[in-house]
Structure 1
Amino acid sequence: MTSTFEDIRLVVLDMAGTTVADGGLVERAFEAAAAEMGVAPGSADHAEKLDHVRATMGESKISVFRHLFGAEDLARRANTAFEKAYGELVDGGLIAPVPGAREAIEQLQADGRTVVLTTGFARVTQDAVLGALGWRGLVPVTLCPADAGGRGRPFPDMVLEAFVRTKAADDVRQVAVAGDTSYDVLSGVRAGAGLVAGVRTGAHGDAEFDAAGATHVLDSVTELPLLLRGVL
């Protein structure tokens, strides 16, 4: 592979924190889920659970709630409350693209690369975000954990599903993955992607990206087209 990454044919991008600025809506939606589950605000239990939510940004949300509440029925109840609250916040206009993100996606596609958007949210929430941004139809494929057999990040499944579904690349080394969390990075590394970039617009920073095995760290997803063109 050349230094300009001209062989990259498929780009798998995270949404919240990477291409979408949600202004802390995950934590606000967690508050609603915690209330539904009877977790008292200000309690040690609440603080511990919120810390876990912050530490696992990028992971499949149902997996997070399985860790927090154990029993499957409790996890699903909490996840339903979370998705409902997040969707209402999205419908309230409290979401926006990361500055320049749409243009970056369009640049990647204009360069002949296929772009797939992925999320740790459920499909209904992903669709709500896409609709609120006017991004329906922006890319050929969008994926949530359920589309890849139910396992979200840090498993490689969504990246590999994008590879199989789009048939845009002949080799996983022709795939680039970018996201704002260590879970995004780890999923790309585990999938064998040729380029795995952490971006500094979301939950995690350089130390987490390096520990997860990122090949690059970018200030924003807007730098990715330039990196792939070999001008960054």
Structure 2
Amino acid sequence: MSTDIRLVVLDMAGTTVADGGLVEQAFRAAARTLGVDDAGSEHERMLAHVRATMGESKISVFRHLFGDEERAQRANAAFEQAYHDLVDAGHCAALPGAEDAIRALRDAGRTVVLTTGFSRATRDRILDALGWRDLADLTLCPAEAGRGRPYPDLVLTALLRTGTESVRQIAVAGDTGYDMLTGTRAGAPVVAGVLTGAHGEDRLRADGATHVLPSVADLPALLAR
């Protein structure tokens, strides 16, 4: 284990923020907007893709599912509105130990960046609901980095924006296979999967996890070893 981890890049939903099925609920609303029957086989096929690609930029998911740009943008707008309504209704909470873990990482002299596959507006809605605007050193969404997961752009943008010297000084943590791919493609030596979100240990390890932890609360101790 490297003792020179300077930058920690953390996913939001499923890693530091409880998902609680909100993504799937919001997707159902988006699909209905485009005339997809909740009870039909087409809906189940689409939902399976949403589950498999958790962590990816949501507009990219909708482009894959609905084809043309106009339909994808309509679906994305409906998804965001439904997700915002759920957040505003109080269905948004930090995962146990997440806030303390972020504070512990920063207290240890490490820079913490929160990343998400959501849009800027949705990310900010979550941060405001949790009172997390100043919790991390930086927050990033795909629109601010170039491409979303599984590309390495979010992690590399975090490196550039924070002035971190080397990719060998980065730890990445997330709950999805796409988080793991993002970390490995960015060259991070520590890519930790957590079991509080979308994907299980087999998927996390298959996509490059160097460690699998019960939750992000265990990350400060891992990096302190």
**Scaled by the length of structure 2, what TM-score is found?**
0.99
The Cα of 1:186 is off from its aligned counterpart by 0.3
The Cα of 1:22 is off from its aligned counterpart by 2.2
2:92 matched residue in structure 1: 95
Q: 1:184 aligns with which of 175, 179, 192?
A: 179
* Letter matched to residue 139 of structure 2: T
The Cα of 1:227 is off from its aligned counterpart by 0.3
**Scaled by the length of structure 1, what TM-score is found?**
0.96
Q: Equivalences for 1:1-232 in 2 at 5 Å? A: 3=1, 5-149=2-146, 151-167=147-163, 169-230=164-225
> Per the alignment, in what secondary structure is the counterpart of residue 85 of structure 2?
helix
Flag as ranges the 4+ runs of structure 1 deviating above 4 A.
none
Q: Distance in 2 between matches of 1:123 and 1:18?
A: 18
Q: Give % identity.
A: 65
> Per the alignment, in what secondary structure is the counterpart of residue 198 of structure 1?
strand
> Per the alignment, in what secondary structure is the counterpart of residue 130 of structure 1?
helix
Q: Distance in 1 between matches of 2:109 and 2:84?
A: 33
Q: Distance in 1 between matches of 2:152 and 2:188?
A: 10
CA-based RMSD of the aligned residues comes to 0.6
The Cα of 1:175 is off from its aligned counterpart by 0.2
Paired residue total: 225
> Per the alignment, in what secondary structure is the counterpart of residue 142 of structure 1?
strand
* Letter matched to residue 219 of structure 1: P
> Per the alignment, in what secondary structure is the counterpart of residue 217 of structure 1?
strand
Q: Distance in 2 between matches of 1:175 and 1:190?
A: 12
Q: Distance in 2 between matches of 1:157 and 1:84?
A: 26
* Letter matched to residue 56 of structure 1: T
- Kept in 1: contact 2:97–2:217 (CA 8 A): yes
Can you give the 5+ residue segments of structure 1 that lack an aligned partner in the other structure?
A: none
* Letter matched to residue 168 of structure 2: R
* Letter matched to residue 99 of structure 1: P
Can you give the 5+ residue segments of structure 2 that lack an aligned partner in the other structure?
A: none
> Per the alignment, in what secondary structure is the counterpart of residue 124 of structure 2?
helix
